[in-house]
Amino acid sequence: MCQIKTLLYYEEMESVIGPLTIIATENGICRLDFGSMEDNLPSLRSWMAKHFIKGELIHSPEYLADAVQQLNAYFAGNLHEFNIRYDLFGTAFQKKVWNQLTSIPYGLTCSYKEVAQGIGAPKAVRAVGSANNQNPVPVFIPCHRVIGSNGALVGYGGGLDKKEILLSIEQNSCKKTS
């Protein structure tokens, strides 16, 4: 039996929210992890075992140069929408939620309830929260723009401090352009 090897390219970068590790297949970005590759390697290996028969990690700054450039422009407040190809692994429901998150305008926020309504499942607020938490490419898919119905910052995989920084970048950038 022939096992096909899946190449996974990665690059690490520093950002205003700390180190980030970007991972991509040949089809697009599949993960953005908070922390260094060393920090994330155990969970990454587990994720790879779940999704690939045989995966190989290759450090490739060239392959991910555009993603790094777009993230740097975003963090500087100069990029409001990413032009990235994704290769996302998740359920149909999760992908529906992640797609909905991309429709939240830069600099604005909405509640989990509004996201649930946006996908036509108004009673699925908790499931939306769970899908939001499973977003494999935070920042690129702006799960940080989802807040509690009372306007409070709640739940962010990278920590509420990072969520606050990301929202601040967007709100300050919007103030400059208005």
**106 alpha carbon, distance to own chain's centre:** 14
Name the pTM for this structure.
0.92
Asked whether residue 86 is domain-assigned, the answer is no
Q: How is residue 80 annotated by DSSP? A: S
The range of the structural domain enclosing residue 13 comes to: 5-75
User: From the candidates 2, 30, 110, 143, which is the catalytic residue?
Assistant: 143
Asked whether residue 83 is domain-assigned, the answer is no
Give tens-digit pLDDT for 102-121.
999 999 999 999 999 999 99
pLDDT at position 109 is: 95
Average pLDDT, the chain: 92
Indicate the number of domains in the chain.
Answer: 2
**14 alpha carbon, distance to own chain's centre:** 16
DSSP-assigned beta bridge partners for residue 110: 146
pLDDT at position 2 is: 45
Determine what percent of the chain is predicted with pLDDT higher than 70. Answer: 94
143 tagged catalytic: yes
State mean pLDDT over 5-30. Answer: 96
Q: Which of 54, 139, 127 is nearest to 95 (CA)?
A: 127
State mean pLDDT over 84-98. Answer: 96
CA distance 14 to 7: 24
**93 alpha carbon, distance to own chain's centre:** 16
Burial category of 141 from C-beta neighbours within 10 Å (exposed 0-12, middle 13-18, buried 19 and up): buried
Residue 121 and residue 173 in one domain: yes
Asked whether residue 82 is domain-assigned, the answer is no
CATH number, position 38: 3.30.160.70
Give tens-digit pLDDT for 20-78.
999 999 999 999 999 999 999 999 999 999 998 888 999 999 999 999 999 999 999 99
